[in-house]
Structure 1
Amino acid sequence: METILTLNNLTKKFGSLTAVNNLSFTIKKGNVYGILGPNGSGKSTTLGMVLNVVNKTGGDFHWFGGNNSTHEALKQVGAIIEHPNFYPYMTAAQNLALVCKIKGVRPEKISEKLEVVGLLDRKDIKFRTFSLGMKQRLAIASALLNDPEILILDEPTNGLDPQGIHQIREIIRQIAATGTTILLASHLLDEVEKVCSHVVIIRKGEKLYSGRVDEMNASHGFFELRSSEPEKLQTVLAEHLSIGKINFQDGLITAFLDEPLDAEVLNSYLFSKGIVLSYLVKRKESLEEQFLQLTNQISN
């Protein structure tokens, strides 16, 4: 599979602050990637560096195998990293016609891209009358005019109402279905889970996870347990080789698994140690629980 973008130990410092720290990952053609992390985690800075609008401090990145200069490679990239900025008293079509002249694109592309984002019937409406969601959709149409190999979106649904969020996500899915690679930055787990095939999770500029979304929560799960002897139960659980982190709250013990373990086997083991359980349930970690643990936002 063709490589679109490669980051090797990419680093950005603003004085004593390290915004991005030795970040490495690879984007392959035809997938939808999400850079996921809390606000201030370095997502926008990372996109700024690969788009040559933020100077890197260290490391490197290569577009399309590094065969062309970054300037040439970016001609194959469509990006929206700021709020849509069009002329308010010009219509949607007039604004896109101006972009066509700047990019050297045939004006015939205007209607095609407006149809993709569901704005073809609004092409003669002035931009100043557009809702925030419509403005964002017009910006996506603008970024698609040159038929880019990859579309980059920074927080594409930020500030939108539920209907606007749904529309943008559907457009992203439709664009991805045509084979266009997409890279989006978001602090919304729900967004990444619904539209992305791959995810890079970062916190304070450092990569915590990189891989397929459906493999992120491929953990071994956890047990919820209760006993009349909770302290003894915690001690015995901590000695078991299959069990990792253990939480205790409101009488409920949560034991996370480092490797597969059946409830029946665990129950027998605890009984042999003199512990009788009043409650035992095995659960699968949700993607949200995994994300919260990775970003250290879940209580220990």
Structure 2
Amino acid sequence: MEPILTINNLTKQFGTLTAVNNLSFTINKGNIYGILGPNGSGKSTTLGIVLNVVNKTSGDFKWFDGHTTTHHALKKVGAIIERPNFYPYMTATQNLKLVCKIKGVNTNKIDETLETVGLLDRKNSRFSSYSLGMKQRLAIASALLNDPEILILDEPTNGLDPQGIHQIREIIKQIAEKGTTILLASHLLDEVEKVCTHVVVLRKGVKLYSGRVDEMISSHGFFELKCNNQDALIKMLENHKSFSKIKTKDGLITAFLNERMDSGTFNQFLFENGIILTHLVQRKESLEEQFLQLTDKL
């Protein structure tokens, strides 16, 4: 697979605080990557380093084949890492023409990018008349003007209402379908699960997981159980090779599977061993549950 960005042992310290700690991962062409973590996990710092707005302490990163300088590589990158900052008295088209002048690119893609973000019919409206979601969409349009190979977005749906969040997510998917690689930072598990193909999970600057989203949530799931003889059930589960972990809370037993098993087979097994269930639900672990398990380790 063709690499777009490769990060090796990257570390950033602010005094005694280590914001990014020995971080390594690779962004390959044609995917949607999410850097996921709570506030303060090092997401924005990592993006700032690779975009040359934050100096690294140690480690390195390389764009594309590694033979391109960061200065030249960034000409093929579109990025929004701060709130959109346009002139309020100018129209969308006027603002984007100014962006083209600053970037040194042709203005012939303005209407195309406005259409991509659903703002073509408002191209002659002043920026001051835009809603927060429209302002964010205009920022995405501005980042697409240089026809980037990768689009980098830092918390792209932050502060938006549900409709605005949905619009931004759909736009990100459409851009990716046209072949642009996406890298977005988010603290929203739901966002990463719905939008991204790959995820890097960070906590306190440390990488906890890197890989495909579907592989992260491809566990065999778990059973939620209740019966009148909890102790016997727990003992049986602990001695059963199909279960990796047993949790009990408020009378509900949660048994995590390490291999495939359907609820009918499991219920029959328990019945044949003298255990009658009063509650049986089989569930699939969500990204949130996987994330909480990962962050519990630190």
1:30 maps to a residue whose letter is: G
1:260 is aligned with what amino acid?
R
Instruction: Confirm whether residue 12 of structure 1 aligns to residue 12 of structure 2.
Output: yes
Q: Which amino acid aligns with 1:61?
A: F
- Whole-Å Cα distance in 1 between the matches of residues 203 and 10 of structure 2? 14
> Could you tell me how far apart the structure 2 residues matched to 1:231 and 1:4 are?
53
Structure 1: distance between partners of 2:149 and 2:257: 41
1:89-168 matched pairs, under 5 angstroms: 89-168=89-168
Q: Unpaired segments of 5 or more residues in structure 2?
A: none
- Quick check: 116-125 or 223-232, which moved more? 223-232
Identical counterparts, % of pairs: 75
> Residue 262 of structure 1: CA displacement?
5.1
**Aligned position for 1:246:** 246
Seen in structure 2, the aligned counterparts of structure 1 residues 240 and 143 have a Cα distance that, compared at 3 Å, is same
The reply to whether residue 64 of structure 1 matches residue 64 of structure 2 is yes
Give me the whole-angstrom Cα distance separating, in 1, the residues matched to 2:96 and 2:284: 48
What is the CA distance between 1:232 and its match in structure 2? Answer: 3.8
1:242-268 CA distance string (max 9 Å, x none): 322211112111111233345566557
Corresponding residue SS for 1:218? coil
The alignment partner of 1:115 has SS state of: helix
Aligned length: 297
Q: Any idea what SS the aligned residue of 2:88 has? A: coil
Question: Aligned pair in 2 of structure 1 residues 54, 279: CA closer, same or farther (>3 Å)?
Answer: same
Match of 2:23 in 1: 23
Cα distance in 1 for residues equivalent to 2:115 and 2:265: 58
Q: Mean Cα displacement is larger for which, 168-177 or 228-237? A: 228-237
3-state DSSP of counterpart to 2:65: helix
Residues 249-288 of structure 1 mapped to structure 2, 5 A cutoff: 249-261=249-261, 263=263, 266=266, 275-288=275-288
SS at 1:214's partner residue?
helix
One-letter code of the match for 1:136?
Q
TM-score by length of 2: 0.92
Unmatched segments (≥5 aa) in structure 1: none
2-side partners of 1:17 and 1:67: how far apart? 32
Cα distance, 1:65 vs. partner? 2.0
Superposition RMSD on alpha carbons, in Å? 2.1
Specify the SS of the correspondent of 1:10.
Answer: strand
Alignment of structure 1 residues 147-296 onto 2, 5 Å: 147-261=147-261, 263=263, 266=266, 275-296=275-296
Q: Give the AA of the match of 1:184.
A: L
Q: Give distance in 2, aligned partners of 1:25 and 1:159.
A: 29
1:27-106 alignment, distance < 5 Å: 27-106=27-106
Q: After superposition, what is the alpha-carbon deviation per residue over 1:109-131, rounded to whole angstroms, capped at 9, x for unaligned?
A: 22221121122222222212211
Aligned-partner Cα distance in 2 for 1:19–1:157: 23
- Cα shift readout 1:167-193 (whole Å, capped 9, x = no counterpart): 111211111111011111111122112
Worse overlay, 12-21 or 145-154 = 12-21
**What is the deviation of 1:43?**
1.0
SS in 2 for 1:108: helix
Provide the rounded CA distance (Å) in 1 between the counterparts of 2:3 and 2:145.
22
TM-score (norm: length of structure 1): 0.91
Distance 1:134 1:249 in 2: 45
Equivalents in 1 of 2:202, 2:184: separation in Å?
A: 13
Worse overlay, 100-109 or 267-276: 267-276
Alpha-carbon displacement from aligned partner over 1:264-284 (angstroms, at most 9, x marks no partner): 665576568765544444332
Q: Secondary structure at the match of 1:148?
A: coil
